[in-house]
Structure 1
Amino acid sequence: MKKKKLLALAAVMLLLTGCGDKTKEKLESARDAGISAMEQAQYEQAVTSFEQAYALCDEKMPETKTDISLYEAACQMKMEDYESLKNTCTRILELGENADAYYMRGVAFLKLGETDAAKADFDGAMTLKPKDYEMALNIYRQYEEISQSAVGDQYLQQVLNQESAGMEDDYQKGSIYYYLGDYEKAAEALAPSVEAKKEDAMRLMGQVYLAQGDTQSAWVVYQQYKETFGETAESYNGIALCDMADGDYDTALQDIQTGLSLKLSDSSRRDLLYNEIVVYEKKQDFQTAKQKAEEFMQLYPDDEAGQREYDFLSTR
Structure 2
Amino acid sequence: MWNKLEKKVVILAVVPFLLTGILTGCTDEKQENEDAYRQIGINCMKSNDYEGAISAFDSALDQKIGKIGDEEVDICYYKAAAQYANGDTDGALATYTSLVDYDDTNSNAYYLRGVLYLSMQNNAAALADFSSAVANTDASYELYLNIYQQLTQAGLSTEAQDYLDKALELKGKTADDYFWRGRIYQTTGKYEDAIEQYKAAIDKKKTEANLYLAQVYEAQGDTDTAETYYQAYIDSGIADSEAMNALGKVEMNQQNYKEAIEYFKSGLEMDEVTNEQELLKNLVLAYENNRDFESAKQTMETYLSKYPDDEEAKREYTFLCNR
TM-score of the superposed pair, with normalisation by structure 2: 0.71
Are 1:126 and 2:131 an aligned pair?
A: no
Tell me the residue number matched to 1:46. 53
Q: 2: CA distance between counterparts of 1:166 and 1:86?
A: 38
State how 1:215-294 maps to structure 2 within 5 Å.
215-222=223-230, 229=236, 239-246=247-254, 248=255, 251-257=256-262, 260=265, 264-267=270-273, 270=276, 273-280=280-287, 289=296, 291-294=298-301
How far, CA to CA, are the matches of 1:290 and 1:135 in structure 2? 43
Residues 157-166 or 284-293, more deviating: 284-293
Post-superposition offset of 1:254: 2.5
Indicate the SS of the match to 1:266: coil
Rounded Cα–Cα distance in structure 2 between residues aligned with 1:48 and 1:224:
43
Q: Is 234-243 or 205-214 further displaced after alignment?
A: 234-243
> Greater shift after overlay, 40-49 or 217-226?
217-226
Q: Would you tell me which structure has more helix in proportion to its own residues?
A: 1
Q: What does the per-residue CA deviation read over 1:173-192, in whole Å, with 9 as the maximum and x for residues that have no partner? A: 32233233332222122121
**Residue 64 of structure 1: how far off its partner (Å):** 5.2
Q: Contact (CA 8 Å) 1:202, 1:225: kept in 2 or not?
A: yes
Task: Deviation per CA, 1:76-117: give whole Å up to 9, x if none.
Answer: 333343212212212222322323322222122222232222
Alpha-carbon distance in structure 2 between the residues aligned to 1:136 and 1:103? 10
How far, CA to CA, are the matches of 1:223 and 1:67 in structure 2?
34
What residue is the counterpart of 2:121 in the other structure?
113
State the one-letter code of the partner of 2:259: Q
Partner residue, 1:87: 94
CA distance in 1, matches of 2:192, 2:259: 32
1:75 partnered with 2:48: no
Aligned to 2:313: 313
Question: Structure 1's 23 and 260: CA in aligned 2 closer, same or farther, altered over 3 A?
Answer: closer
- Deviation larger for 31-40 or 212-221: 31-40
Change (3 A) 1:94 1:33: farther
Size of the aligned set, in residue pairs, is 289
| C-alpha spacing 1:51/1:221, structure 2 compared with 1 (3 Å) | closer
Counterpart code for 2:82: C
For structure 2, the 5+ residue unaligned runs are 1-23, 317-323
Alpha-carbon distance in 2 for matches of 1:62, 1:222 = 39
**Is the Cα contact below 8 Å between 1:98 and 1:125 reproduced in 2?**
yes
Q: What's the counterpart of residue 212 of structure 2?
A: 204
CA distance in 1 between counterparts of 2:154 and 2:240 reads 36
Report which of the two structures shows the higher radius of gyration computed on alpha carbons: 1
Judge which range, 157-166 or 265-274, deviates more. 265-274
Contact 2:175 2:202 in 1 (8 A): no
1:137 pairs with 2:142: no
Letter in 2 for 1:31: R
| Alpha-carbon displacement from aligned partner over 1:146-197 (angstroms, at most 9, x marks no partner) | 3223323333333232113411222223223323333222212212133456
CA distance in 2, matches of 1:149, 1:282: 42
Cα pair distance change 1:199/1:51, threshold 3 Å: same
CA distance in 1, matches of 2:291, 2:159: 43
Amino acid at match of 1:179: T
Compute the RMSD of aligned alpha carbons. Answer: 3.9
Equivalent-residue separation in structure 2 for 1:311 and 1:27 (angstroms): 38
What is the CA–CA distance in structure 2 between the aligned matches of 1:289 and 1:103, rounded to whole Å? Answer: 42
1:25 is displaced (CA, Å) by 4.4
Distance change (3 Å), C-alpha of 1:159 and 1:233: closer
Instruction: Give per-residue Cα distances to partners, 1:213-239, cap 9 Å, x unaligned.
Output: 11122234345556x648x88887555
Shift of 1:210: 0.8
